[in-house]
Amino acid sequence: QKEVEQNSGPLSVPEGAIASLNCTYSDRGSQSFFWYRQYSGKSPELIMSIYSNGDKEDGRFTAQLNKASQYVSLLIRDSQPSDSATYLCAVTQLNNDMRFGAGTRLTVKP
Binding positions for another protein, rule: CB under 8 A:
31-32, 34, 36, 41-46, 49, 88, 90, 92, 96-98, 100-103
**Minimum separation from the CB atom of position 76 to another protein (A):** 19
Cα(61)–Cα(10) distance, integer angstroms: 19
**Minimum separation from the CB atom of position 43 to another protein (A):** 4
**Minimum separation from the CB atom of position 32 to another protein (A):** 4
Cα(15)–Cα(9) distance, integer angstroms: 17
33 sits in the region (left: phi over 0; alpha: psi -120 to 50; else beta) called beta
Name the residue nearer to another protein (CB basis): 18 or 46.
46
